[in-house]
Amino acid sequence: MQELKRLMAMKLGPLNWYRVKGLLHREGCRREHHEWDHRDNADYREAVLELANVVKAAFPVRVEATKLNDCLQEKGESVRAHYYRLYELFNRHSGMPEPNVRGADPSLLECHLSSWFTRGLRDDIMRGMKAGLVGWKDTRLADLLTYAMHVEEQLEEAKEAEAKRAAEAEKQIFTKDRLAAAKREKARAKSDIELQLALFTNDSCLGSCPTDC
């Protein structure tokens, strides 16, 4: 236990260590066996748990709502990636412990996490959710995530279809322009041939006629 205390004193620094050292009451407790779960380590395990609880109570998680407010779905970021990034920030900065068991009704943590999740979604995805998911405000987080990914997939499919239509339209315009250009070129060539024939005929006529013709 003394070694743990020395490590904590180095990690926390003098001021923070002073806040907790007076709350530790198992001075002589030590690890008796190399296997953590061995029964000889029962007192030591209890002492370590007590130490962890003292530290948690002395240094509670700071709530930093700004970091959660700033967690918006980025351009090119998938719904799933956005959720995992938010989930990590939420656990770190919300100050709310995650329940060991999720019941039939949403916990306070789930309600807050759902709110931050929908708030940070892209506008087009959120519009799709509001349009297609009746009662989305009361929907469980897992279902919100599933439906958001469904909307994202639909938007991607629509985007790909639109790009395909645009490419096809551009191809048709290009083909039409080429046909029109070929037609103009053909007409120009025909005019040139007719002009050359006319000039040739005129020259032939001039060459075959008498001088006084």
For residues 156 and 20, give the distance between their C-alpha atoms in angstroms, rounded to a whole number. 54
Three-class SS of 133-158: CCCHHHCCHHHHHHHHHHHHHHHHHH
For position 210, what pLDDT does the model report?
Answer: 56
Q: What is the pTM of this model?
A: 0.54
DSSP string, the chain: -HHHHHHHHHHH-HHHHHHHHTT---TT----SSSTTSGGGHHHHHHHHHHHHHHHHHSPPPP-HHHHHT--PPTT--HHHHHHHHHHHHHHHS--PPPSS--SSPPHHHHHHHHHHHHHS-HHHHHHHHHH-TTGGGS-HHHHHHHHHHHHHHHHHHHHHHHHHHHHHHHHHHHHHHHHHHHHHHHHHHHHHHHHHHHHHHHHHHHHS-TT-
Domains of the chain: 3-58 (no CATH), 65-97+106-154 (1.10.1200)
For position 38, what pLDDT does the model report?
Answer: 86
For position 202, what pLDDT does the model report?
Answer: 60
pLDDT tens over the chain, length 213 residues:
677 777 777 877 777 777 777 766 666 777 788 888 888 888 888 888 887 787 777 776 677 788 888 999 999 999 999 999 999 999 888 877 776 666 666 788 888 899 999 999 999 999 999 999 888 888 999 999 999 999 999 999 998 888 888 888 887 887 877 777 777 777 777 776 766 766 666 655 555 555 555
